[in-house]
Amino acid sequence: MANKTATYVVVALCLLVLVAKHAEARQPRLVPAIFVFGDSTVDVGNNNFLGTRKAGRANFPQYGVDFPTSKPTGRFSNGFNTADRLAQFLGFRLSPPAYLSLTRRTIRSQMFKGLNFASAGSGLGDSTGRLVVGEVIPMTQQVESFATVVKHMHQISGSKRTASLLSKSIFFISTGSNDMFEYSFSRSNDRKFLLGLVAAYKHYLKALYHLGARKFSIVSIPPLGCTPSQRLRRLTQMGTQGCFDPLNDLSLGSYPLLAAMLEELANELPGMAYSLGDAYTMVSFVYANPQTNDWSFTELEVACCGEGPFGASGCNQTVPLCGNRDNFLFWDANHPTQAVSTIAAQTLFVGNHTFVNPINVLQLTKM
């Protein structure tokens, strides 16, 4: 085990060196556009335009405290999220803008560079998130919005040029966690649930493929049971400290099913390529190695923005805010800090087979 951990550390340090060299080179955009789909981990403000409850919005001062403008943008982070960081490694300034933030005129100028359709609280199921946060944009609607955009692209640029642009672009997806959260409160048949989740994922990937997508960067579900909210859940239900294991078991069980589905789909659909990030292994690695020469996480359990046990009360205008945000793993009860999102994006971009399979995003751009 010690030798394996040492190998992980070497891999991580080599990873950061590669990213640093790439950043120093100031390379041009590696792909023509990036299109983002998913939930709060990659939402950049779509929910600000919905009839969403407070829990489904990140539009008050604490959110965005470390963003360049120091203003809330709808990101569930103290600064950039993983979509921003990955976009930056691909040569963009940050994630493409929230689809709902654009007018017909601005969509016309932006759609050839990418759009972000993600919605906090949403999931692969059409009803996911609605009871908890109110109005959200499920994957069904996110894909439908993209279909509308593709139609306009065809009208403006023609079918051949549009198909060429989309085939070279990156489609970044981070979803499924909210479906799993909700299911965990009324568990019945875990295997049936996970198979249904992966089947839904496959349906949307095929829909995007038939609209022109070819290169997919997908993030699997992380160990959700270790978030502050779920640590509090375990303390409340069991009276003990630690991660909420039943939810982690679901997270862990979803990865091999998702990996098998993607491999099967890539064999079925000509020209499809993908990079699957193993979020469970990524987070587990950081837990095992909280301090290296390149990062120092001194708080792995408590949210930076929140109060009460594990800071899991929720981030709002009145709760205290930690000062050393780069030392915290969690920003609020359920979301990572900007520091963690940076590591995640770095790993997706140039990680090896320990963390991403069958290739990383940088390799994906070259296909």
Contact 310, 302 (CB under 8 A): yes
> HEC string of the chain?
CHHHHHHHHHHHHHHHHHHHHHHHHCCCCCCCCEEEEECCCCCCCHHHHCCECHHHCCCCCCCCCCCCCCCCCCCCCCCCCHHHHHHHHCCCCCCCCEHHHCCHHHHHHHCCCCCECCCCCCCCCCCCCHHHHECCCCHHHHHHHHHHHHHHHHHHHCHHHHHHHHHHCEEEEECCHHHHHHHCCCCCCHHHHHHHHHHHHHHHHHHHHHCCCCEEEEECCCCHHHCHHHHHHHHHHHCCCCCCHHHHHHHHHHHHHHHHHHHHHHHHCCCCEEEEECHHHHHHHHHHCCECCCCECCEEEEECECCCHHHCCCCCCCCCECCCHHHEEECCCCCECHHHHHHHHHHHHHCCCCCEECCCHHHHHCC
Set 43, 174, 326, 335: catalytic member? 335
Tell me whether residue 220 is exposed, middle or buried, using C-beta atoms within 10 angstroms of its C-beta: 0 to 12, 13 to 18, 19 or more.
Answer: buried
Give me the catalytic one of 179, 278, 326, 332. Answer: 332
40 among known catalytic residues: yes
152 is catalytic: no
User: Any catalytic annotation for residue 335?
Assistant: yes
Q: What sign for the dihedral angle of Cα 237, 238, 241, 243? A: negative
Q: Residue 105's CB: how many other CB atoms inside 10 A?
A: 8
Tokens at residue 266, please?
């890539």
Choice among 39, 40, 84, 254 that is catalytic: 40
Q: Which of 101, 49, 47 is nearest to 75 (CA)?
A: 47
Distance CA(255)–CA(28), nearest Å, equals 33
Residues involved in catalysis:
40, 332, 335
